[in-house]
Amino acid sequence: MLDISLLRNDPEKVRENIRKKFQDQKLPLVDEVIELDKAYREAQQQADALRNQRKVLSKQIGGLIGKGQVEEAEKTKARVAEIASELEALEVKEQELQAEVKKRMMVIPNIIDPSVPIGKDDSENVEIERFGEPVVPDYEIPYHVDIMERLGGIDLDAARRTSGNGFYYLVGDIARLHSAILSYSRDFMIDRGFTYVIPPFMIHSDVVNGVMSFAEMENMMYKIEGEDLYLIGTSEHSMIGRFIDTILDEEKLPLTLTSYSPCFRKEVGAHGIEERGVYRIHQFEKQEMIVVCRPEESPMWFDRLWQNTVDFFRTLDIPVRTLECCSGDLADLKVKSLDVEAWSPRQKKYFEVGSCSNLGDAQARRLQIRVKGKDGKKYLAHTLNNTCVAPPRMLIAFLENNLQADGRIRIPEALRMYMGGKEYIG
């Protein structure tokens, strides 16, 4: 959510940003906010004037009674009562106008960073850099579900019976590999100075509205029936929500955190064959990175976060590339975003395995996450998040890139201690 002063002082900047995100349908919101905000401030001024008038008249009543001017005192009391009634109506009007302003402000997209490429959708995202040599072996790379089934490592049929489509049972060495990757990612991030956290897996609606847009919530999150609770779609939700309505000490920043959680997503819409299996599912686990920092430090942390993911995948011998998200592909709260994509020898292309985002002060403004500076003044923090690893999607890249000609899966050295010393499975 933007600072209202930006719309008051530079509405054209907000309009231009909306155009850059190809959301022209939202342009009328700018004028609506300006008009509603003007009416709100006028109501506020009227209410303040009435409060001041009531205060003055209330003081006069005692003096009039003391002078024996009872009739005049009664008239003054009557006027004070009238003012109270007028104030009550104005305060209701203030609340209604403020709610209407907020309703529209929550939909207006955040101002994107000047470095973000302009484009309509993800087809216009820009490749930045490649890490590792993408290889297509001279033997067949089967579909990832076939690889897992040959190793006795997955049961999709049973999951359909118990839970429906979009779920799975992982079994044996594949299940162990899944857990090993998460354990390794946890230690990898701790070694980089991040504090390990296991957060709540359900959050209240006020936290949901603070961390994401309403459209995202509707398409992603499962609600607990009869309760003000939602299952998290990523641990970022509860990790940022941890700081709702708090004032942080500037000297304790940055907060660099790495969190484990299961994630639950609706994943609305139909998908192609490569996104079946365990690519796009309703339940998965993830190791996340979260940073809460001073505004001037967020660009630096953005670069550090995506580099962590690249480094992690390279220790597992998986080639990756980074992709700058264009303006039309950015979620409304994001200032800048970069995807990390892993190489798929089967598809002979890269696919997304992680996303790094700088949200500026958007989440902090919604959740009132403030920082107290050395001078005593308060300001809004900046928040960032990034995926370290999200198996089982990452398992697809791992299995395809480490599959041997004889059907075995090579275990890179960095992961062997988490797999009981095994060099191969299968």
Give pLDDT tens digits for 230-289.
999 999 999 999 999 999 999 999 999 999 999 999 875 544 444 467 778 899 999 999
Assigned token pair, 354: 């992680």
Over residues 325-349, mean pLDDT: 96
Question: Are 365 and 357 in contact, with CB atoms under 8 Å apart?
Answer: no
Pairing mode, strands 246-249 and 369-372: parallel
% of the chain with per-residue pLDDT over 90 = 81
Would you say residue 218 has pLDDT above 80?
Answer: no
For 410, counting Cβ atoms within 10 Å of its Cβ (0-12 exposed, 13-18 middle, 19+ buried), the class is middle
pLDDT reading at 364 higher than 70 = yes
pLDDT for residue 319: 98
Kind and range of the H or E element at 96?
helix 70-105
Q: Decide if 47 contacts 95 (C-beta within 8 A).
A: no
What whole-number distance in Å separates Cα of residue 114 and Cα of residue 112? 6
Spatial separation of the C-alpha atoms in residues 426 and 419, rounded to whole Å: 13
Per-chain mean pLDDT for the chain: 93
370-385 pLDDT, tens digit each? 999 999 999 999 999 9
When comparing pLDDT for 156 and 1, which is higher? 156
Compute CA distances 64 → 45, 56, 69, 70, 79, whole Å. 29, 13, 5, 7, 14
Query: Which three-class secondary structure state does DSSP give residue 294?
Result: coil
Yes or no: say if 342 and 394 are a contact pair by the CB < 8 Å rule.
Answer: yes
Instruction: Report which of 69, 46, 109, 2 is spatially closest to residue 329, judged by C-alpha positions.
Output: 109
71-80 mean pLDDT: 82
3-state secondary structure of 304: helix
pLDDT surpasses 70 at 422: yes
357 residue type, one letter: S
* Least confident range of 65-69, 204-208, 292-296, 410-414: 65-69
Q: What does the pLDDT average to over 404-422?
A: 96
Residue 219's pLDDT is what? 78
| Full set of structural domains in the chain with CATH | 4-105 (1.10.287.40), 122-425 (3.30.930.10)
pLDDT at 84: 86
CB 1 within 8 Å of CB 362: yes
* Site of tokens 């403004």: 365
Supply the pTM of this predicted model. Answer: 0.89
* pLDDT tens-digit readout, 13-64: 999 999 999 999 999 999 999 999 999 999 999 988 888 888 888 778 777 7
Confidence band of 202 (pLDDT split at 50, 70, 90): very high
Q: For residue 219, what are the contacts with CB-CB under 8 A and spacing of at least 6?
A: 266, 268
* Single-letter amino acid, residue 148: M
Strand partners, 311: none
In 3D space, the residue among 400, 353, 341 whose CA is nearest the CA of residue 144 turns out to be 400
Q: What gap in Å lies between CA 37 and CA 31, rounded to an integer?
A: 10
Q: What is the mean pLDDT of residues 291-307?
A: 98
What pLDDT digit, counting tens, does each position of 148-162 carry?
999 999 999 999 999
Q: Phi, psi at residue 11, to the nearest 5°?
A: -60, -30
Give the pair of three-digit tokens for residue 303: 């670069």
Looking at residue 276, its pLDDT comes to 61
Residue 382: which H helix or E strand, with range? strand 382-389
Instruction: Provide mean pLDDT across the span 90-107.
Output: 93
Helix (H, G, I), strand (E, B) or coil at 328: helix
As a whole number, mean pLDDT of residues 83-101 equals 91
